Amino acid sequence: MLAAYPARIKDARDFASRHRVVLLRTPDGVGIDVSLGALPFEERVISRASLFSFGRGLDLRTCSAEDLMVLKLFASRPLDIRDAEGVAVRQGRLDSQYIEDQLRPLAEIKGEPAILATLARLRELAASLE
């Protein structure tokens, strides 16, 4: 991947080895984050993914909205939280039990129980919009 696309950071190969994410940039400057899956959850994300048509001749395999919520909440950076809010609002009905079941052990591993509080807040937000 690093041979095909320029890296967004110095020492991208070392960063990818440590963090399991390759940070790239398209020729027109769009950032690409490529996650290098290693956890059972990430295997489930791939098995649950489906093709989405972005336009004529541009079909990409994308993760489910629930899996995107887990990924965004696990990352928990401010932008990721805003992205998760957008998914919760846009999708409305999500399988919140699946999200919690996947997110709980990840939050425990990370030592950040506040992630689950954020999930609860987003559930309330989505429910208030129904």
Which band of pLDDT confidence, cut at 50, 70 and 90, is reported for residue 68? very high
**The two structure tokens encoding residue 54:** 């972005």
Does the pLDDT at position 11 exceed 90? yes
Does the pLDDT at position 73 exceed 90? yes
- Please provide residue 32's backbone torsions phi and psi, each rounded to the nearest 5 degrees: -125, 130
Whole-model pTM?
0.77
**The two structure tokens encoding residue 75:** 């990352």
Query: Looking at residue 53, what DSSP letter applies?
Result: E
Strand partners, 79: none
Which band of pLDDT confidence, cut at 50, 70 and 90, is reported for residue 66? very high
Does the pLDDT at position 93 exceed 90? no
